[in-house]
Amino acid sequence: MPDASQRLHGSIRAAVGRAAALSVALMLAFLLTACGGADPRGAATGTHPVGTASLMLDFTPNAIHSGIYMALARGYDRSSGVSLHVVVPGASTDAIDLLDTGRVDFAVLDIHDLAIADARGRKLVGLMAIVQRPLASVIAAPRFSSPRDLAGQTVGVTGDPSDLAVLHSVLTGAGVNAKQVHTLTIGYDAVPDLLAGRIAAATAFWNDEGVQLREQRAGFHIFRVEDYGAPPYPELVLCATQVEVRAHPALAAALVRALQRGYRAAAADPVAAVQALTSRVGGLNASSVRAQLQGELPALRPTGSDVVGALQPAVLDGWARWEQRFGIVKRKPDVATMFTSRFIDRQIRFG
């Protein structure tokens, strides 16, 4: 939402960590070998080939990435002038380090991770919004129908810096003093811990853990952070280093265009989008992917616009103020230097 980045998680993360880490290593080795020490990325005109681009996801492939896999399935990458290779992260993968060292060209980052990286002096830039709404939420057991009911209760958090901000925003928006709520670091075990009743609520993604919980047991309450004071910020953002963008603007433009077309197609034909994803990623449950994507489709559209992937200055400014207010970073992020809309094709719009 969130690099804005890893601002889609526990049960899946544990199951795929080692295999995904091996996937990263193999993919990176392939990319380095394929390049053979030379840089295949050059200038391009129209749809003439630009070269190869590696794109690291923020997490294990899931419904929110359907537009990326739709771009691959329909050849939008090559017709836009780029040969796209998707890299799946492992449990300990640091996408920002891989961007900085040039081992991947682009990455999908959680917007909060992007803010933290910027505060630490990492020169990254957001090129396109993958999703236009926060995915973060607080999910509560059935007997807690309002955030106000969580006073005096224990809420699980992953330990990520943005978690407390999300929890405090939801509580503050509901008129609850955050000091009245106890927190417990549970990592990414929100689903089993909630099902077992070990905690009253947990910070989690409504489009992932929220779907998992509702498939297993009815009655859980989802308090989305944007319903309790947070602006409608883009949780996930396509990012690159400023050095990469300056060196290869044609590659950035080609990739953004391909992904815009992919997400437009996914919104227009969700059935095909689910097929594009599940046919390329083993182990996914098509029914769960359909349920996730159905909930995510409205979140793909920017507020007051139909341009796919739009980055809206007013929305980003609101996010930056929220980011500072709830302590994710000490200083308000400089939206003007952290994001650019120069590569977004405003002719590619949702139908």
pLDDT tens-digit readout, 253-304: 999 999 999 999 999 999 999 999 999 999 999 999 999 999 999 999 998 9
Q: What's the pLDDT tens digit per position in 206-225?
A: 999 999 999 999 999 999 99
- Please give the structure tokens belonging to residue 230: 């947070």
Tell me what percent of the residues of the chain surpass a pLDDT of 90: 82
Please compute the mean of the pLDDT values over residues 35-53 and round it to a whole number.
Answer: 51
For residue 161, the model assigns a pLDDT of 83
Start-to-end CA span in the chain (Å): 23
Judging by DSSP bridges, how do beta strands 82-87 and 106-110 pair with one another? unpaired
Give, for 126, the enclosing helix (H) or strand (E). strand 124-131
* CA distances for 59 relative to 3, 12, 65, 94, 275, angstroms: 10, 10, 9, 11, 19
Helix (H), strand (E) counts: the chain: 14, 10
* CA distances for 238 relative to 126, 227, 244, 289, angstroms: 6, 25, 13, 21
| In the chain, domain spans | 10-133+233-338, 136-228
Using the predicted structure, report yes or no on whether residue 190 has a pLDDT greater than 50.
yes
Under CATH, which number does the domain 136-228 receive?
3.40.190.10
Judging by DSSP bridges, how do beta strands 221-224 and 154-157 pair with one another? unpaired
For residue 49, the model assigns a pLDDT of 65
What is the architecture, at CATH level 2, of domain 10-133+233-338? 3-Layer(aba) Sandwich (3.40)
Using the predicted structure, report yes or no on whether residue 152 has a pLDDT greater than 90.
yes
Residue predicted with more confidence, 303 or 236: 236
Q: What's the pLDDT tens digit per position in 62-102?
A: 999 999 999 999 999 999 999 999 999 987 679 999 999 99
